[in-house]
Amino acid sequence: MRLNFVTQKLLLLSMLLFTACVGNTDPDQIMLPTETTPPRGTKAPTLSPTATTEIVSGTISIWHSWNEPYVSALINTISAFQEAYPNVYFDVLYVPELDLQASFEQAAIDGGGPTIVIAPDEWGPEFYKKGYIAGLSDLLAPELLNTLNPAAVDRGRYQDELMGIPLHINGIVLYRNAVVVPGPAFTYDELVTLAKSANKGDILGAYLDRSFNFAAAHLLSLGGILMNAEGEPAFDNEVGLRWVNLLLSFDQTGPTDFFTDNDVNAFKEGRVGFLIESTVRRNELEESVGEGYLAIDQWPIHADGHLSGFVVAENIYLSERALDEDDMISLEFVKFLLSPDAQSEIAAVDLIPAISGSPVNVASGKVNIPNPLIKQAMIALTDGYAYPLSPHTSLYRDHLNQALKTVFESGESPSAALRAASDVITEALIIGDVAPTPTP
The residue ranges of every structural domain in the chain are 5-169+314-374, 170-217+247-311
Mapping DSSP onto H, E and C, the string for 314-349 reads EEEEEEHHHHHCHHHHHHHHHHHHCCHHHHHHHHHC
Q: Which CATH number does 170-217+247-311 carry?
A: 3.40.190.10
**Beta-sheet pairing, 272-278 with 58-64:** unpaired
Torsions phi, psi of 274, nearest 5? -110, 140
Shortest CA distance to 418 belongs to which of 434, 399, 433? 399
Enumerate the H helices of 187-281 as residue ranges. 188-198, 212-215, 217-221, 238-248, 262-268
How far are the Cα atoms of 30, 219, 277, 280, 301 from residue 206, in angstroms, in the given order? 21, 20, 12, 20, 17
Residue 178: CB atoms within 10 Å: 15
Work out the average pLDDT over 380-399.
96
Residue 330: CB atoms within 10 Å: 24
**Confidence check: pLDDT of 375 > 50:** yes
**Beta-sheet pairing, 161-162 with 310-318:** unpaired
**β strands within 178-304, DSSP E:** 204-209, 256-257, 272-278, 294-297, 301-302
Host H or E run for residue 426: helix 414-431
For the chain, the straight-line distance linking the first and the last C-alpha, in angstroms and rounded, comes to 40
* pLDDT given at position 29: 41
Domains 5-169+314-374 and 170-217+247-311 share a fold: yes
171: which strand partners? 311
Q: Could you read off the pLDDT of 253-265 as tens digits, one per residue?
A: 999 999 999 999 9
Cis peptide before 120 (omega within 30 of 0): no
**Confidence check: pLDDT of 28 > 80:** no
Which range is least confidently modeled, 14-18, 70-74, 171-175, 368-372? 14-18
Enumerate the H helices of 1-57 as residue ranges. 5-13
| 329-337 helix and 70-84 helix, angle to the nearest 10 degrees | 120
Host H or E run for residue 76: helix 70-84
Q: What percent of the chain has pLDDT over 90?
A: 80
How far are the Cα atoms of 76, 90, 290 from residue 48, in angstroms, in the given order? 11, 19, 35
How far are the Cα atoms of 173, 390, 412, 421 from residue 438, in angstroms, in the given order? 21, 10, 29, 20
**Confidence check: pLDDT of 304 > 70:** yes
Host H or E run for residue 385: strand 385-386
Q: Contact 77/336 with Cβ under 8 angstroms?
A: yes
Q: Could you read off the pLDDT of 166-185 as tens digits, one per residue?
A: 999 999 999 999 999 999 99
CATH class of 5-169+314-374: alpha beta
* pLDDT given at position 415: 98
Shortest CA distance to 209 belongs to which of 253, 249, 166, 260? 260
